[in-house]
Structure 1
Amino acid sequence: MSSNLFKATVNQYLEDLPKPVQSKLYEAPATCLSIYRLLSPMAKFYIMSMIFNEKLVAVRDLNKWCKPSAKKLEFEALKRLESLHLIEYDARGTHIRLNSTFRKNFRDSLTGSQDPNAFGSVSTAVDKHAVDIAFLDSFATQKWESILHFMVGTEGTQPPSKSVLSLLRLGGLMEGHGGDRDDGDDASNITNTGFQFLLQDVNAQIWTLLLQYLNLTQELNMNPVDVLNFIFILGSLELGNSYSVSSLSETQISMLADLKDYGLVYQRTNSSSRFYPTRLATTLTSDSAALKTPAMAIQQAVDESEASSISSSANVQESVIIETNFKIYAYTNSPLEIAILNLFVQMKTRFANMVCGQITRESVRNALYNGITADQIIKFLETHAHPQMRALAQERLDKKVEFDASHNINTAGGAPQSKTNGAISQHRLEVLPPNVVDQIKLWQLELDRIQTFDGYLFKDFANQQEYEILSSYAIELGVLIWSDKLKRKFFVTKDGMSQVADFANRKLR
């Protein structure tokens, strides 16, 4: 999922920061809470297991907390925590403890013992120009969609601000010299990376630009710790509240104008004493969906009782229907939605509120050449599928489960089996026609006849038992790519090499 992808990308950025910068970040409770939210479930489990424990924890005890089948998750979680310097090993490497600064401030954020302004200073003065959540959603949607419209080249779209254009080019999403001219005649073109960007969810898109913004902090003479802390604070603020500018640093105050261009905050004027975070900001570090734009989750039903969480572009439910003959019908009149579909669909007819097209080999290959993967296309179609397609898929799934359950009862002499056992648990909801999904993947395989992997080859084992022990461990970690039992050789991923080598040193030497 793209949500996992952007979390991994943000974590990678944090891991690459110098240790002094990381330590400085952990002095802010809001940052500690946000970084915790970005961790994997296994890493969160380790954090919570040690947060109120002042003593060292034995590494062998950590191994007992996980099932043998979760070795890969355990390794990745500990590696990430170590890279972020959230855990520290003792001199012998047999015990670990939490980073003391992180422990104190994260514990304070959990117990409510932090500084009153740690999560922003709520403005108590009456705002003569107060705005509600519906206005904030509308503002954020308009700002963000203007960027996406510009990227796909929608006619009549005004170019975004120069700061946004520079980030699009810096991130490799657009190419050209747009933004350097003030006449509005922009010459930027979308890149292969930009095509992939359009198919991501809003949170991933926001973080893509924010990471490029963070890369510019040194050139702009901005304190990276202040910038990161403010971004993480925004992810912890409450939607609909206004916050005082007086509690911000100079760096953070200068950020408000840029963040307003992205739709993350609303400030009536640049000199206003308060600002409002939008939904794009408050969902930065959470798993909650950001604003509903025409390019995102158009199949979700609109709940009238939650009108405050609906953007202005979601007044009409838009849906996509795919038939087994690869014909596609999209109920939308959004130029942005049509432009995105046009990336991998051959459009045939356009009506007032619907477009018709065909998924063809050529249209999919064009998308593949532009850097879009088959999985991204399939995920996009599943996300945008018509509710009726989901209902039919659920009906088919229920029938399969019911049939298998009755079949197992008959073959077992009347003894019922749990629906979570056997083949029944292997069934999954197939929203799209299986032949369409398989064919899209096959069209990609036509271009991916040879795959390359970076990694390491293990060979020259002393005996067959030694080979079996190490190869089995590599399989448990999920890092084994290829093996030959007769020649006693196996190949592991680049990341898995150190773990397998450490295991070999401990067990075999």
Structure 2
Amino acid sequence: MLYMPGPFMSAHLDAWFKPEARREKDKALFVLEQLHILIHKVDANRQTSYVLYESFRRSLRQALEGSGTARSFGIRPSQPNSKRVDIAFLDDYARKQWDTLLFYMVGNTVGLKGGDMGSDISDDTIGLLKLGNLVQSSYGRTTITQAGFNFVLQATSAQVWSLLIVYLKHAESHLGLSETEILSFLFMLGFLELGEDYSTAALTRTQLTTLDILCDLGIAYRPSKSSTSFYPTRLAVSLVSDSASLPASGHSNPTGGYIIVETNHRVYAYTTSLLQIAVLSLFTRLTTRFPNLVSGKITRQSVQKAIKLGISSQQIISYLTAHAHPQMRKTQPFLPPTVIDQIRLWEFDRERVEVTQGYLMKEFNTESEYRDTAAYAESLGVLVWRNDMKKVFFVDRIEQMTTYLERRNRGH
């Protein structure tokens, strides 16, 4: 239909479908008409046919052919750039920018310094992390949240989309930017060719603003703020493909497994990555650091420190399992069961039930009676717990409450 010179007859379309699939065909055609992709026509001979909307047909042809000025696959600079960068440079840049973001989240929490790493993060990126509830600031100190630790546990491509979704959700309300323009720009980036530069001349104000934050995140590279060209990085390609992943940095273990956990809770991590050391520090008391190894111990205090940050025992276990050393993977489960059980028990220590003797007040006649009585209990300082939905509350002293209720009943 895209390249047909005339309408596509309905009878010809019916020949493509089995008779029992007529309902699904009609439903699909209805959706396409509602989206203004197809037009249903009836000629003078009462024969029905379908044609594509002219604007949709023209745009789709340009996108597939790379013709026109629709920017579906970007626009190459009119003049060749004498200072081109290669794919290796772009990979290194993307990895450095993304690791900087992750180290800012984790390193600040554990007080680990990494030179430039985590210190040159932009204010816009920090604001984005806070909007996504990935970090929180209190008394001038930034710490990771439970959602932030979940974010760190994700694959890089999932992390990228998680952060971009936060940007999309708040772009219009916080920045006055068009959500539609940003989304179309992101998909355009995903289809650009890695290692090639593209012109910024045809980008809108919204897209140029978005490009700045994407460069901060390592999704795109722009030699300078005034540069008229930019490069998509491998992180941009991963927006539309799960097969293109960022190569591991020189600081990380290429096998993905670097942690050994012993039955006595001692931990050995074969890594030189400050980011991995910082993550481990969230729930481990590290004691020794060698050129390619850090060691420490999982203790009650270190686990409960992590739990205070909102990190659950299951998240700790998941991280240790996902990054278990190949030597640990020879047995099932990868982690010693005693260590798994103890980490969970230390979390339960904070959730123990506290027994309080007292009296449950319930069966109030009206909502106002319940609220007045609960407010009186609270003013006396005897209120321990309340549930406004069920109209019940618990007090640890009953004498004055009895007097109050008797006086109230006499008054009625």
Q: CA deviation at 1:200?
A: 3.0
Q: C-alpha deviations, 1:414-443, integer Å up to 9, x for none?
A: xxxxxxxxxxxxxxx643334434544455
Q: Mapping of 1:69-468 within 5 angstroms?
A: 99=32, 101=35, 113=64, 115-116=66-67, 117-123=71-77, 125-151=79-105, 152-153=107-108, 154-155=112-113, 156=115, 157-176=118-137, 187-218=141-172, 219-288=174-243, 290-292=245-247, 298-301=252-255, 319-390=258-329, 392-393=330-331, 430-441=333-344, 443-444=346-347
Q: C-alpha deviations, 1:156-182, integer Å up to 9, x for none?
A: 45242121121122222333489xxxx
Amino acid at match of 1:360: T
C-alpha contact (below 8 Å) 2:237/2:244 kept by paired residues: no
Q: C-alpha deviations, 1:194-243, integer Å up to 9, x for none?
A: 34433333233323332232233223222110011111222232321222
Counterpart in the other structure of 2:362: none
Distance 1:171 1:341, change over 3 A: same
C-alpha contact (below 8 Å) 1:196/1:371 kept by paired residues: no
Distance 1:96 1:112, change over 3 A: closer
TM-score by length of 1: 0.52
Amino acid at match of 2:129: L
C-alpha contact (below 8 Å) 2:63/2:73 kept by paired residues: no
Give the structure with the higher percent helix: 1
Q: How many residues end up aligned between the 2 structures? A: 308
Question: How high is the sequence identity, in percent, across the aligned residues?
Answer: 39
C-alpha contact (below 8 Å) 1:56/1:97 kept by paired residues: no
Counterpart in the other structure of 2:361: none
Give me the whole-angstrom Cα distance separating, in 2, the residues matched to 1:57 and 1:446. Answer: 59
C-alpha contact (below 8 Å) 1:299/1:384 kept by paired residues: no
Counterpart in the other structure of 2:388: none
Amino acid at match of 2:94: A
C-alpha contact (below 8 Å) 2:145/2:311 kept by paired residues: no
Q: CA deviation at 1:275?
A: 0.9
Give me the whole-angstrom Cα distance separating, in 1, the residues matched to 2:75 and 2:250. Answer: 34
Give me the whole-angstrom Cα distance separating, in 2, the residues matched to 1:55 and 1:234. Answer: 42
Counterpart in the other structure of 2:357: none
TM-score by length of 2: 0.62
Give me the whole-angstrom Cα distance separating, in 2, the residues matched to 1:260 and 1:216. Answer: 18
Look up the SS of the partner of 1:436 in the other structure. Answer: helix
Q: CA deviation at 1:368?
A: 2.8
Give me the whole-angstrom Cα distance separating, in 2, the residues matched to 1:325 and 1:198. Answer: 27
The structure number with the bigger radius of gyration is 2
Give me the whole-angstrom Cα distance separating, in 2, the residues matched to 1:331 and 1:140. Answer: 24
C-alpha contact (below 8 Å) 1:175/1:188 kept by paired residues: yes
Q: Mapping of 1:60-75 within 5 angstroms?
A: none
Counterpart in the other structure of 1:504: none
Unmatched runs of 5 consecutive residues or more in structure 2: 1-15, 39-51, 354-412
Give the structure with the higher percent strand: 2
C-alpha contact (below 8 Å) 1:172/1:191 kept by paired residues: yes
